[in-house]
């Protein structure tokens, strides 16, 4: 039987890929083990360390880009421990916001690994303040548009609603939604909002050109591991069936990276299962591949027009 509750949080490495830290990195991995509002399956606080541990077993050479992605310089920050956030918090997720802001200002791409999805608020707040033209690609199984949940407006079920309230002009594309509440459905139907939703059930009708057209030049990607079909990602807080495949996820991130400027990312919602490492390795490899796609031109894999290696048919 899979055991979701007894994950041993062994520290095998403090650095993504166990990579040597460099003086002028292009990427900063930011582990953020925040978990206070998960309910069904807990354990996302163990996600960052599980991903770091699994990343030690990745091949640095990428067979698709035909180069070692790590050559660009990938550093890992200390763990960012955010205080519990609720309705009374004056500066929600300020600890993460400050680290992300410093990363961007210093010229490194911030990649946050969680932790529950509510931490996206802190990362996105920093990005929004620094980029006048930014949109968010929110890849997740739930829209997280609740006004409040369990008397907390910063519950992870409310993440995108909080972002919308704080940044009403932010263009949002949600991808892979499997389920939503009647309250969220009613809010979407009765309000003129700047949120485009692509449901998982309509996967065969998705067109990458439409997804790209809904995004601005600068894009922040927020990726919840529960968007995957539970057959390949059982280690999430909501392992529902009928989700995204590995190849589809890569195609989407590859296309967005080819035609847009990625200004930040987060990968959240991994709830490691004791003695079952495959999902942790999947998560680590997705992050590593996403870094490769983001810097593919610098690595010599994308042409200037973004055409090389891109498959526009999902």
CATH number at residue 283: 3.40.800.10
Mean pLDDT of 131-144: 95
Domain ranges, residue 195: 16-299
Lowest mean pLDDT, pick from 13-27, 246-260, 300-314: 300-314
Instruction: Indicate whether 304 belongs to any domain.
Output: no
Instruction: Indicate whether 4 belongs to any domain.
Output: no
Residue 103 in this model has a pLDDT that exceeds 90: yes
57, HSE (Cβ side, Cα atoms, 13 Å): 13
Instruction: Indicate whether 307 belongs to any domain.
Output: no
Using CA of residue 40, residue 143, residue 248, residue 263, what is the dihedral sign? negative
Mean pLDDT of 199-222: 94
For position 309, what pLDDT does the model report?
Answer: 53
Structure token digits, residue 165: 């309230």
For position 305, what pLDDT does the model report?
Answer: 55
Kindly report, residue by residue over 258-292, the tens digit of the pLDDT: 999 999 999 999 999 998 999 999 999 999 999 99
Instruction: Indicate whether 306 belongs to any domain.
Output: no
Number of domains the chain is built from: 1
| 284 neighbors 247 (Cβ within 8 angstroms) | no
| 65 neighbors 301 (Cβ within 8 angstroms) | yes
Phi, psi dihedrals of residue 50, rounded to the nearest 5°:
-60, -40
Instruction: Indicate whether 230 belongs to any domain.
Output: yes
Instruction: Indicate whether 178 belongs to any domain.
Output: yes
Identify the residue with better confidence: 273 or 238.
273
For position 310, what pLDDT does the model report?
Answer: 58
Average pLDDT, the chain: 92
Residue 153 in this model has a pLDDT that exceeds 80: yes
pTM for this model (two decimals): 0.94
Kindly report, residue by residue over 21-79, the tens digit of the pLDDT: 999 999 999 999 999 999 888 999 999 999 999 999 999 999 999 999 999 999 999 99
Residue 155 in this model has a pLDDT that exceeds 60: yes
For position 40, what pLDDT does the model report?
Answer: 84
Mean pLDDT of 200-215: 93
């Amino acid at each position: 039987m899979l055991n979701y509750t007894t994950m041993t949080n062994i520290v095998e490495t403090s650095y993504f890929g166990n990579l040597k830290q460099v003086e002028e990195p292009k990427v900063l991995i930011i582990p953020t083990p925040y978990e206070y509002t998960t309910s069904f399956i807990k354990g996302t606080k163990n996600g960052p360390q599980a991903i770091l541990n699994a990343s030690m077993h990745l091949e640095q050479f990428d067979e698709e880009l035909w180069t070692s992605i790590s050559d660009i310089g990938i550093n890992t920050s200390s763990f960012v421990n955010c205080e519990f956030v609720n309705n009374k918090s004056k500066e929600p997720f300020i600890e993460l916001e400050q680290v992300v802001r410093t990363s961007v200002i210093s010229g490194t791409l911030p990649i946050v690994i969680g932790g529950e999805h509510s931490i996206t608020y802190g990362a996105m707040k920093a990005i929004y303040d620094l980029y006048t033209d930014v949109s968010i690609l929110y890849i997740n199984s739930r829209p997280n548009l609740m006004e409040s949940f369990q008397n907390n407006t910063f519950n992870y079920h409310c993440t995108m609603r909080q972002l919308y309230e704080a940044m009403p002009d932010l263009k949002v594309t949600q991808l892979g939604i499997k389920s939503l509440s009647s309250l969220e459905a009613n809010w979407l139907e009765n309000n003129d909002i700047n949120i485009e939703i692509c449901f998982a059930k309509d996967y065969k009708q998705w067109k990458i050109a439409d997804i790209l057209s809904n995004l601005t030049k600068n894009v922040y990607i927020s990726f919840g591991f529960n968007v995957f079909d539970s057959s390949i990602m059982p280690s999430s807080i909501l392992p529902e069936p009928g989700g995204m495949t590995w190849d589809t996820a890569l195609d989407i991130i590859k296309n967005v990276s080819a035609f847009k400027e990625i200004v930040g990312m987060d990968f959240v919602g991994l709830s490691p299962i004791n003695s079952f490492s495959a999902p942790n390795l999947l998560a680590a490899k997705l992050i590593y591949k996403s870094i490769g796609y983001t810097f593919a031109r610098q690595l010599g894999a994308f042409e200037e027009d973004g055409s090389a290696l891109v498959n526009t048919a999902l």
